[in-house]
Amino acid sequence: MATTTDSSNTSATTTTENATSKTIKIQSNDGETHEIDQGVVEQSSTIKTLSDLMDLGDVPIPLPNVKGSILTPIVEFCNYHKNDPKPEPLDDDDDDDPNKDIYEPKRSDDICEWDQNFIKRFTVQEGTLFDIIMATVGCKTIANMVRGKASSEVREMFNISYDPPGEGLNAPNAIESQAGTVPTTQDTSATGPSPQPDPMN
Amino acid sequence: MSRDVTSSLLTLPVELIYRILDNLDDFTFLCSTRNVCQRLNYITDAYHRYQTLTTLDLSEYQIEDQGTQHLAHALTNDTIISAINLTNNKIHDQGIAYLTAALKNNTTLTKLNLQCNSIEDQGAKRLADILLNNTVLHDKQIFVLSIFILHPGIDDTQP
């Protein structure tokens, strides 16, 4: 699997200048454990949050979404990139250009050579390219956030502006208003037949 | 109105959004991700699970009136689902009100099973109204199967 491993990462793994000596163990869903140092931990909000929350000691953090065959290259990737400058905040650029299409594809030709070689290991055919995306854990997290929410709440949660197709057919209050005046209390149970005329007669 | 609302969800690649949707059950998928906004609707229109979601089995799903409201919202302009099984849930008259309001705009659904819910006279009347008086639905032959009515007031309205 890892035959194409780039040797350039070995120098990165040995550098510890911005990291403390503290290391953390992580474990893939098939039981493979890796030891990562603080510089790597900083790159994963999930692992960082977990390690900040509790003193784990020697217990490995389980990563149930990640296979061992995918975790190894991820650790390698994080080790290579742990000294990269922090990315700029995302909401910076579209303030200066309000007309910018937010759906405009991002530039994809600025991937550095190491990353290009790295990503070549993963293919669509084997599904590993999607596994590496999945390993960001985000998909499942977002799915969990959405569960049990109304679409209006989802809209609010993700700052999605409402754009009704047609004439507000699915407006947030459309259903409520169409439903009319239905007693919300339980007192109808005692009142017997409906006072309105029976539609059958 | 602030214009600097950048929706991180909507800027995700479609494949990633599908990955997120893969983690959702049918009920959540419908109620929480349909009719959020047009772009998300376009994306879910092409989602393989939605395209094949003609029958929705939600029996014993602990759905209460609020869940019914969410479902009704998703059904308002749905053109995929033709049958829903809502047996053994906790839907009261209020939920039926949401549901029947949504069905006024829905011309795809032809089967709705509401057996073993807490539908009383008001809800039963709404169901009867929509069956008898709405010509679109009548033409489409909506079958309300075995409505469980606590007060047997108008149980002779079954088609």
Instruction: Select from B19, B21, B36 the Cβ nearest to the Cβ of A133.
Output: B19
CATH number of B54-157: 3.80.10.10
Domains of chain A: 23-85+112-158 (3.30.710.10)
Q: Between B128 and B99, whose confidence is greater? A: B99
Q: Count other Cβ atoms within 10 Å, centred on residue A79.
A: 22
One-character DSSP codes across chain B: --S----TTTTS-HHHHHHHHHTS-HHHHHHHHTTS-HHHHHHHHT-HHHHT--EEE-TT----HHHHHHHHHHHTT-SS--EEE--SS---HHHHHHHHHHHTT-SS--EEE--SS-B-HHHHHHHHHHHHH-HHHHHHT-EEE---BSS-SSGGG--
pLDDT tier at B142 (50, 70, 90 boundaries)?
Answer: low
Q: Is pTM beyond 0.80 here?
A: no
Tokens of A31: 């039981």
A122 CA: distance to closest CA in chain B (Å): 16
- Note the residue count of chain B: 159
Domains in chain B: boundaries? 1-53, 54-157
- With beta carbons under 8 A apart, name residues in chain A contacting B9: 142, 158, 160
Query: pLDDT tens digits, residue range A35-56?
Result: 888 777 777 666 777 777 666 6
Is the pLDDT reported for residue A81 higher than 50? Answer: yes
* Closest residue in B to A189 (Cα–Cα): B120
pLDDT in the model for residue A107: 52
- pLDDT value of position A8: 43
| B33·A192 Cβ contact <8 A | no
Q: Does A102 touch chain B (CB under 8 A)?
A: yes
Residue A171 predicted with pLDDT over 60: no
pLDDT value, residue B115: 84
Minimal Cβ distance to A178: which of B9, B20, B104: B104
> Which among A102, A133, A144, A146 is the top mutation candidate for probing chain B, defined by the most B β-carbons within 10 Å of its own β-carbon?
A146
Contact B6 A91 (CB under 8 A): yes
